[in-house]
Each structure stands twice: as structure tokens, then as C-alpha cells.
Chains A and B, each alone.
Chain A
Amino acid sequence: MITIVNKHKTFAATGGCAFDKDKPAVVFVHGSGLDHRCWALQSRWFAFHGYSVFAPDLPGHGLSAGEPLSTIEATGQWLVKALNTIEAPSIHLVGHSAGFLVALEAAGALGDRLKTLTAVASSASIPVSDLLIAAAESSAAEGADFMLRWGFGSQTHAGISAVPGMQPIAIARQIISGNPLATDFKACHNYCAGGSRVSEINIPSHVILASEDKMTPIKFGLELASSLRARITQIDKTGHMLPIESPKRTLEAIKAFIIEHTD
């Protein structure tokens, strides 16, 4: 679906069904360098099982227009505006990596519309190494290379795919190649408000962690879960790119929690 946010065309995937504001909405927020396509094998299930799906491309990403935003705070405000356009009274917010930081920033403004919060391979802050930022700034391809090396787990590096015939690393590379990775990395790196935002969360929360995550190591995810008093799901033999790398197990974890908290 196309909505207009801050005068710019915004694309959001709806999982193959028209968005219906009367259904509980599952909102998927992508991480650095990614877009809605990283949620392809999670969003469709919800859309066909009683939920409405809103998986936006953040400004300047994927099929959305506008300049990419340079801070997590600004992106959180943008997300609130985007969610206001769909008028959903009941929202389950799911964020991957930096997308969870965006969700944290938006959460306070959503009031009681927000029913649950799910972090996928994330933590309250995600410092990005100088090496990675420098690589992404000097060459998008080089930055993507670093992210793909570190972002995927050992099985995917061995060419294993949950979807027959596919190569997740190449898919992620193509998605990243069209998105502003360096801007996203810097926004993520500079974000310091996560800790205080976490302390303001008092709704059911869920932290999904990957055993081989090198970009948001699992100990930081556990700290986040502790602060949120969240449910923890750990997925083994998987790296940071959970939604692409382990789509089925990621979906199972997300859906079990959201179903449990759907009226």
C-alpha cells in the first residue's frame, strides 16, 4: 500500500491482503540497510490469519521516497506519523535490529494502541564499529560485504537456505545494495536513548535472539530482555539476519507471542 508521510510517498507491504484497520495490526520495522522485503516470510502469514500487516519501507529505503533520516529519534517520529495514517487502534510492533530502536522511539507516542513489542536480534543500543561505518561510507558494496560476513550465521555461510533453491546472502546483498547503509549505521551508532526508552515500556515484550549474532551479541539482547521483563526466545545456529536467515523459526516465535496477546 502507498501512504503519504511528510509529503513523501511511503510504501508498506501488507502481506498480500488489503490493510483493514479493524483488525489488529502487526507492524514490522526493518533494520539498517534493509527494507520490507526482509519480512517477506513473516508478514504474509499474519495477513492471512486475522491480522492486518504494515511493513513500511523507511524514507529513502526500498520503494519509499524521501531522504533517509539520520537519527533513530527522527525515524521513530516518522513511524508514529506513518502509523497515524493507517488509523489502526491495536498495534503489535516488531523491529529487527535498528528497526527495534525505531520501534522503541515510537512506542511512547502510540499510547494504549500499542499492545506488544517484539525485538528481533536487537538490544537497547547498537554501537556500530568504526570499521563498518567507514566501509559503508567509502563503498556501499564494501559495507554490505562486512555486514553480510558478520550478519549471517555459519549455516547460511555454508549455503543452507530455509527456502528451497535460494541463497539468503545474495538476497540480502541485493536488498542492501539499494538502501542507505552508511546513514543507517550512523543513526544506529549515535542512538543513546534506548535505555531510558526501555524503562518506559510497560506492555508485554518479547526478545528474539540469535545464537550466532555477532552484530548484537546475545548478552546485550539478554540485558534488554531483563530490562523489559520480556519473554526470551533464542534461535540456534542463526546469525543477526534472523528474518531472512531463519524465516520459519522467526515467524513461529513472533506469532506465538502475538497470538497469545491478541484479544
Chain B
Amino acid sequence: MGKSSFLGEETIALHSGYQPDPSYGSRAVPIYQTTSYVFESVDEAAALFNIEKGGHIYSRMTNPTVATLEQRIAALEGGTGAICTASGMSALFVTFITLCSAGDHIVSAAQIYGSTATLLKHTLKRFDIDCTFVSINDSKSLTEAIQDNTKLVFCESIGNPGLEVSDLPAISKIAHEYGLPVVVDATFATPSLCRPFEHGADIVVHSVTKWLGGHGVAVGGVIVDGGAFNWGAHGKHPTLTEPYEPFHGISFWEEYGPSALVMRIRAESMRDLGPSMSPHTAFLLLQGVETLSLRMQQHVKNAKQLTSWLLEQQLVTWVNHPDLPDNPTHKVAERLFPHGAGSMLCFGVQGGRNGGRAFMDALKLASNLANVGDSRTLVLHPASTTHSRLDDEAMKAAGSSVDLIRVSVGIESIADIIKDFKGGLKAVERMAG
């Protein structure tokens, strides 16, 4: 298995981080719906507050139910530790501000989730953290974008919305030459399909809301530390190597080494900013994680079959999935995703923007909504929703197009998904006259 456990992936997903509690023998992970924890003594309390001992103080920082989810995801990814947050976006924000301060710089893949792009382009800019966007698999562009004040390289393992796979070994090699960690949003992949630490990445972030949770019932995020990055080697990350006054001048790197990043986030961001995950949310997301492997197998299988079927349809003008040879990163996907590059696909239909609208309105099984990674099939027509204010050229620049239909393929019977899509294409045909 990975670097955290000798158990298999399916066993980790079901058992890691929890054993039946000694009081009642509860087989399922209990929901520790509590804000705080009774200290054994004043000395014990002081030791916990000064990080002399590990343990729970207040659920803004840690909670036993949330910790089980953290340990389980850390084990699935092969990381030294994890921190769950209120959402995937807060996980990204916390990661960026832990490694960057005012005056610092980030190099990011250009093809990323819209809200992440806004965070990097506008929100962090207000705090004097700058970002350069590059075509992440273009080594020359990546290298040229790195500045003296660059603190990290960011990408998504499968880019949204263009479904280009980031060449993590190549990106990591360049980043490490410059003393920079690689932060990967691996939401579209999950550790069931690709574990970025095995390909050189240093920090993994997920929106647990999506495939990890998998049931569309709770919003959450997670940051996982691979523990291999040498924060002390280049002097580029003073937040981890220099004394931190609130804890008597602690140097997280010297004290904790491979768990320095998680310890700093716990001590600073979770304490001061409070983007914590609720125990009930952790419980709901744990139910999803327990069946991750089974679900991902079915997601990928359905995505392959739907892709094959779409390619045969005359009314479908194009299909994009990393497993298809004409995807520009198909070769990278073959290397990093031997079991299939996820269950997101995009395709276009005849009739452009109106064709896309007709298709969407005719669907009965698939849900038209702005989410991905649910166990149910989800579809979105960006030209009539998220990107409706953009003209054709602007859509193209955003990595989209007016006829693009984004599909997050669910785990329903593939025959039923195809039947539903047939109905959609009939509507396109009727519209075309």
C-alpha cells in the first residue's frame, strides 16, 4: 500500500483511524458532537495548549470524529498527517497562507477550478500575494514563471474544466530544483486512482465534498502533508523554519520535521481563523470514504462506457476525457492513472449553445446542477449557467465552449445513463429540425 500503512486501500477506507470505543464498543465511528474536552488537570491543560502533548482541546482545532477522517484520508494518500476544513476552498486558502506571506508569489496552472483561480488572482492579491498562471505541463513556461519570492507551485491532478492531466513527476522535478513544494488539488482523482505523493508532489488538497464523500450530502475539505519536503534546505519558508512567537518561538521544522506543515496549520490557521469541519459533517463524509474504492471502480467503468457510446453518436461533435488518445495529456494519464483518469468528461453537441440547452432540458435521470463527484450522474452546461455572460471567444479563452456539456458520471446502471442521454440527443435532433 502507501507510506502510512501496510493495509490495503479498501481496508484503510473502512478501518483506519478508529477502533471500537472502549466504553460502548460502537462499531461505526461515533459523532463526537462536543465543542470541548475536560482536562485531567491544570498541568495537563497547560501541556496541551503548549503542544507538549497531543490531544483534544477545542473542536475548532481538533475533534475525534474529524480526526478519524483526517487519519483515514492521510493513510489513503500516504501522508504523514491531514487536517480537515470546512470546504475544499478553505483547505486551499489555509495551505496558501501557511506557506505565503505578503510579498510572496505562487505559480499556478492556468487550467484550474474557477473559484480557485479567483482566490489566486483576486483574493490573495488583496493581501499582496501574487500569482502567475502558466500552462503547467510546459516546462519552459513553468521555469520562467518562478521568481525569487515564489513559495509554491500549484496544479490540479486533473484540470478543471479542460481535463488535462498534470505531469506531476515533471512539475515536481522543476519545482524541487527551485526549492519549492508542489501543492496538488487531487479532487477529481481521489487516492483510489492516483496518489500524488508517489509522483513527487508534496501537499495534496481535496474537496472531500466530491468523490471522497461521494453522496452530495456534506461540504468539506482536507489538506494532506506528504512529509517529504525539506523545508529547512532552502530558507524559503520562514513560517515553518523560523521561530513562531505565539508558541514560545517554536520552529515547527526543527521540532516536528515531517509533520511540520500540519502542526503549523493546526496551531495557527485552525486556531486563529477557525475553518473547521463539524463532527457531523466528518461522520457523513466518512460514510462515503468507506466505499471509495468500489465507487471509483464503478465511476470509471461507467465513464469509459459512456465515452465510447458518445463517440459513436452523430449528433455529438466531440468528446474529451484524459483516457482518449486525442486528449493532449493522454500519455501522462496513461502513466499516472493506470486504472482510468476519473469520471469527468466533456462533450459537445450539434447546434452550439442552443443544442446544449436542448440536451440538458431533455434529461430526466442526470441532474443539472453545479457540483461534481456525486454518486449520481451530474451535468452542467456552462454556456447557459456558470459562463452564461461570456461570448464565444471568452468561453474559448476560459477553456470552455458554447456547446460544452460537462458530465460527472455517476454509478447508476450504465444502460439507464445512456438511455437518458439518448433522450437528450433526440431533443438536439428535434431542435436541429
Where the two chains meet, the residues of A that have a C-beta atom closer than 8 Å to any C-beta of B are 11, 13, 16-17, 35, 37, 40-41, 44-45, 48, 62-63, 148-149, 155, 157-167, 169-171, 173-175, 177, 247-248, 251
Contacts and interface: CB of A to CB of B under 8 A. Distances in A.
A63 B255 contact: no
B67 to A, nearest CB: 4
B155 to A, nearest CB: 23
A165 B257 contact: no
Nearest to B256: A40
B248 A177 contact: no
A177 B228 contact: yes
A48 to B, nearest CB: 6
Contacts of A16: 247-250, 255
Contacts of A163: 54-55, 81
Contact of A164 (B7, B55, B227): B55
10 contacts: A13-B255, A16-B248, A16-B249, A37-B257, A44-B50, A159-B4, A164-B67, A166-B81, A167-B4, A175-B257
A166 B50 contact: no
B258 A165 contact: no
A261 B232 CA distance: 37
Given A16-B248, A177-B228, A37 B55 contact: no
B293 interface: no
Contacts of A174: 3, 80, 227-228, 257-258
Nearest to B69: A165
B62 A164 contact: yes
Nearest to B258: A174
Contacts of B173: none
B76 to A, nearest CB: 10
Contacts of A165: 62, 67, 70-71, 74, 81-84, 262, 266
Contact of A161 (B47, B71, B255): B71
Nearest to B47: A45
Nearest to A177: B228
A140 to B, nearest CB: 13
Nearest to A35: B257
Given A164-B64, A167-B4, A171-B258, A41 B54 contact: yes
B17 interface: yes
B312 interface: no
A248 B53 contact: yes
Contacts of B6: 148-149, 157, 169
Nearest to B78: A170
Contacts of A63: 232, 254
Given A159-B72, A247-B53, A170 B16 contact: no
Nearest to A145: B6
Given A48-B50, A160-B17, A174-B80, A166 B254 contact: no
Given A162-B55, A166-B259, 8 more contacts: A37-B255, A48-B47, A159-B15, A161-B67, A164-B64, A165-B62, A171-B259, A248-B53
B54 A164 contact: yes
Contacts of A160: 17-19, 71
Contacts of A164: 54-56, 62-64, 66-67, 70
Nearest to B72: A159
A44 B232 contact: no
B256 A170 contact: no
Nearest to A162: B54
Given A16-B248, A45-B53, A248-B53, A170 B64 contact: no
Contacts of B180: none
Given A166-B71, A169-B4, A175-B257, A41 B53 contact: yes
Contact of A159 (B17, B51, B247, B257): B17
B53 A159 contact: no
B179 interface: no
A37 B257 CA distance: 7
A170 B256 CA distance: 13
B78 to A, nearest CB: 7
Given A16-B250, A170-B79, A170-B227, A159 B5 contact: yes
Nearest to B266: A165
A45 B47 CA distance: 7
Most chain A CB neighbours (cut-off 10 Å) among B74, B83, B250, B255: B255
Nearest to A165: B70
B53 A155 contact: no
Nearest to B230: A178
Interface in B121-144: none
A169 B5 contact: yes
B186 interface: no
Nearest to B7: A157
A164 B63 CA distance: 8
Contacts of B83: 165
A174 B256 CA distance: 11
Contacts of A157: 5-7
B41 to A, nearest CB: 12
A13 to B, nearest CB: 7
B17 A161 contact: yes
A26 B74 CA distance: 33
A117 B232 CA distance: 33
